[in-house]
Chain A
């Protein structure tokens, strides 16, 4: 095929540019540790969240440096998040598990790296870290019905020592979280009936 010399050069530069872009993203995802959202291999029945971790959503410690938060989106609030803030420790690995009890929602913690979809039936898993104590706003960024524009909430990153490692009766020292129920840590979780995800991880 007849290709002008300049055009050959242009195509070569274009290909290098494309490979360079992909390379920079590989670097960003691996070395710079920017989180990506993968398949949690967990499914739930959106109509029966009661028997699962999402029946009593909220945060708890699962290890010395690992905190998990279960969040449910439901027309038109985040549970927790809307009536009580989500509390997370700073400088700690925080894993969010997000699902929806009805329609598709978008869980976006404005100003953080957290921006994931909540899809009924699916469990979204996203791991990140909050460096500074700070209060963030949460929005629903996917249209979810008539009062979509009212669906908002709050997430507060607090120094890790202030977030209790004990169970049930403890609340955090932050006065914005008076009603926040701290769930038992994972020593209890494994033996309880709370893990009722339909099996899907055994596919491999």
Chain B
């Protein structure tokens, strides 16, 4: 019996979530290619220098907010109901949040497309960070709000199901997949509260003309309160896959269940009180406060370094079960031809590289070297653009048959796809990092200036541009491969072939009972997390509020 047979209703929820995610990644990916080719002068026929920013906004919103959130909610819906062996409680509630959540991106994306489509009377070319006083139509902000509120509904469903499960299983430990999903969604509640306040109390009424002005530093700080923690909301579902499924894909077992829980708890505690490291270059925040949050940023390296150990050790364990030997020879015994394995493994390698770049970004002094340069998108295309996105694609190859009941099609194309993505991203991201070191700015349609000569540490501008353009092309081909496999599988015939995958997850070598029960008590950890947020953000927010809440900047429509 596969998941679709056990939970037909929840499988349908997962399919709706994945469908929206894949439509987003398709449009967002095309826009990514067009952007890269525009900036590198390969092809400029699709839009103008000014319209570039609408394409950039749509790319950021579709990829970073829509694709990620929908895929995550789908993945966790599967993980929670499967690991608790229990469906959601109330179908009306579930479909209410599914509807709200799906309406959101339609509104926001539609607003941004107002730049191209005459009959849409809205605008929203404010980029993914929507810094006031640049102003979008109320529909843009409303759409983002609905997306977030809908995802809160999903979180409520997970917590509700866990609550009922606990009543029936009072002495059992929370299953690991549910534990990881719930910890991630609690983090999401805490961090998305910042952007919800920013949008609901400030930007939405301001764009409607109900309040005259907003304080740009305050709204920006509320954004970054959310804006860094959100990267862990993207990353932890990849960790969910790496901890709970990658050991199985490798042919072995997870090393330690308890340490996986500790890792997720550390993220729950430390993810939000780090956001000021995106504001090292900002006025109005003291260097001391920036330094404190820089320190917490470095300590959040710890759970990632712990993850690196566990993931590699679990892979080695799997490889040795498959007959691998030698100090490094075991690597050859891993199933590199299976896309769900290779995608996760390559994503992990990209994340290691991205992590080192992140250590530079987080340094209060070195940050000035790369702040707002193209180094930064180079960095996050390794992290969210590969560690997260490639893991999601990889796990799709394994999960899609289980939520559709259909055998994966075009398996050779699927086997090649992760490698194409990895090579494309290495080319593109590497060149972006190097350009950034020379000071080439991000977020501009024309990166060459009459008064600036860039001194590149390696290579020339034309070589680096070629790498970006070629990398983007490979990424787009890889995306097309992914979509081809998904579409052929999805529209294939059910029952034509056995689906050849199953959700039986082998028990960890060291089970949950090796760790203390207090790990499962989310009430305590959420209380500590909120306390840390108050300590980290109380002082800067109080000081900004003193300088005006509804005073400052009137809207500048985009």
A contact set with B: CB distance below 8 Å: 1-4, 6-7, 10-11, 14-15, 17-18, 21-22, 25, 28-29, 34-40, 43, 46, 75, 98, 102-104, 106, 108, 110-111, 113-117, 119-125, 137-150, 152-154, 198, 200, 203
Q: Which residue of A lies closest to B446 (CB)?
A: A149
Separation of A36 and B280 alpha carbons in the complex (Å): 8
B555 to chain A, nearest CB (A): 10
What's the dominant secondary structure at chain B's contact region?
loop
Would you list the 4 A-B pairs with minimal beta carbon distance, nearest first? A137-B452, A38-B287, A110-B439, A2-B514
CB <8 Å contact, A143 and B443: yes
9 additional A-B residue pairs with CB within 8 Å, beyond A46-B552, A149-B445: A15-B302, A36-B287, A46-B553, A110-B439, A115-B281, A122-B283, A139-B449, A141-B372, A142-B131
B301 at the interface (CB under 8 A from A): yes
Residues of chain A contacted by B26 (CB below 8 angstroms): none
CB <8 Å contact, A143 and B301: no
B546 at the interface (CB under 8 A from A): yes
Contact sample, A vs B, 25 pairs, CB 8 Å cutoff: A2-B256, A7-B306, A11-B302, A14-B305, A21-B363, A34-B365, A36-B365, A37-B368, A38-B285, A39-B285, A43-B284, A106-B441, A108-B372, A111-B439, A115-B371, A119-B283, A121-B552, A122-B283, A124-B281, A141-B371, A142-B131, A143-B53, A149-B446, A152-B452, A153-B451
A132 to chain B, nearest CB (A): 14
Residues of chain B contacted by A36 (CB below 8 angstroms): 280, 287, 290, 364-365
B450 at the interface (CB under 8 A from A): yes
Separation of A195 and B328 alpha carbons in the complex (Å): 67
Highest count of chain A CB atoms <10 Å: which of B258, B299, B439: B439
Residues of chain B contacted by A25 (CB below 8 angstroms): 294, 363-366
CB <8 Å contact, B134 and A144: yes
Chain B residues touching A, range? 35 or more
Known A-B contacts A39-B285, A40-B283; A203 and B127 likewise in contact (beta carbons under 8 Å): no
CB <8 Å contact, B371 and A119: no
B558 at the interface (CB under 8 A from A): yes
CB <8 Å contact, B309 and A117: no
B107-145 contacts to A (CB < 8 Å): 127, 131, 133-134
Q: Which residue of A lies closest to B519 (CB)?
A: A1
> How many residue pairs at the A-B interface have CB separations less than 8 Å?
220
What are the interface flags for B364-392 relative to A under an 8 Å C-beta threshold, 1 for contact and 0 otherwise? Answer: 11101101110000000000000000000
Separation of A116 and B280 alpha carbons in the complex (Å): 8
A100 to chain B, nearest CB (A): 8
Residues of chain B contacted by A98 (CB below 8 angstroms): 283
CB <8 Å contact, A37 and B280: yes
Q: Which residue of B lies closest to A46 (CB)?
A: B553
CB <8 Å contact, B301 and A14: yes
Q: Which residue of B lies closest to A33 (CB)?
A: B365
B251-280 contacts to A (CB < 8 Å): 255-256, 258-259, 262, 279-280
Residues of chain A contacted by B556 (CB below 8 angstroms): 75, 102-103, 145
CB <8 Å contact, A1 and B215: no
Separation of A121 and B133 alpha carbons in the complex (Å): 11
CB <8 Å contact, B359 and A200: no
CB <8 Å contact, A152 and B50: no
B77-119 contacts to A (CB < 8 Å): none
Separation of A142 and B56 alpha carbons in the complex (Å): 13
Separation of A183 and B36 alpha carbons in the complex (Å): 44
Residues of chain B contacted by A17 (CB below 8 angstroms): 301, 305
